[in-house]
Amino acid sequence: LDCAIIKLLLSQIDADRGMVVMTDKNSSAFFLSGSCWSKLGSVPLKHVSVGPAGIWGVDQQNKVYKFVASLELKQVDAGGQGQVVGVAKGDTIHCLTANKASSIKEIINWTSGIAGFLIYISCAPTGCWGVNAQQSIFFTVNSCLRPGNWIQVDGEAVNVEVGSDGNVFVVNRLGLLYERTGISDQVPQGTGWKKIEMSVKIKHASYDLGYMWLVTEEGFIVKCTK
């Protein structure tokens, strides 16, 4: 990786289809416009995600925002095929279909009752990945419309992110960054992990269009080309 440090104090970052959003230490949300960061509204958010379903965020009270909130989630992801997925305070998994997510009307009915309990979830057209409270990693090829069983994958992580092209990255409790290898149509969950050597400990990672966006444990952005 060829990396450069951007000295902004961040909490979390997400990238998809050329768009980049982030939250800082003060829970302010921003989006990248050219080479400048512009504030994204006035609502304090602890987590923000961008994807085909738009820009979604979660505040400190676990309220969900696009235009209105209807469910309490502690983490949300707007990747996948237009769907929005998230995990609630009790680690339950929830999902909005693409049709509901793209609506400008008030969102009322999330799909719930999805099997499993997760603290972090991320989806791409190739499937969804999740991490539970025990730091175990899981994968499913199914989506909101066809909830299915989760396959446990080897390794441990505190968060996982899937790029729009299906590349998968995890960060573990030691601040180490790994990429999933061996992903194919026949084996969508992949076969192994490759450690990505970094000179600093990583808190969060997101990947899009050949760029790796990282947040260090100190809160700085690291932008890398892969």
pLDDT reported for residue 112: 72
Q: Where are the domains of the chain?
A: 2-225
Cα torsion for 141, 146, 148, 154, to the nearest 10°?
A: 20
Contacts of 150-153 with CB under 8 Å at 24 or more apart are 150/115, 150/116, 151/189, 153/129, 153/180, 153/189, 153/190
CA distances 135 to 2, 102, 118, 155, 160, Å, are 29, 32, 9, 8, 10
CA 6, distance to chain mean position in Å, is 20
What residues contact residue 34 under an 8 Å CB cut-off, 6+ apart?
Answer: none
The phi and psi torsions of 170 (rounded to 5 degrees) equal -130, 155
Q: What is the rounded distance in angstroms from the CA atom of residue 219 to the CA atom of residue 87?
A: 24
For residue 131, how many other CB atoms are within 10 A of its CB? 25
- Residue 211: the pLDDT is 92
Coil/strand/helix, residue 100:
helix
The structure tokens listed for 31 are 């989006």
pLDDT tens digit at each of 226 positions of the chain: 789 888 778 899 999 988 899 999 899 999 898 888 888 878 899 999 998 888 899 999 999 888 444 567 899 898 777 888 899 889 999 888 887 777 655 555 677 767 789 999 999 888 899 999 999 999 998 767 565 689 999 999 999 999 988 999 999 999 999 999 999 999 999 999 999 999 999 999 999 989 999 999 999 999 999 7
* Phi, psi values for residue 101, rounded to 5°: -65, -30
Q: In this predicted structure, what is the pLDDT of residue 68?
A: 43
Residue 119 class from Cβ within 10 Å (0-12 exposed, 13-18 middle, 19+ buried)?
middle
* DSSP H helical ranges for the chain: 98-102
Residue 98 DSSP SS3: helix
Task: Give pLDDT, residue 147.
Answer: 59
The answer to whether 211 touches 32, Cβ cutoff 8 Å, is: no
2-225 belongs to CATH 3.30.70.270 = no
Give this prediction's pTM.
Answer: 0.79
Written as one letter, the residue type at 181 is: T
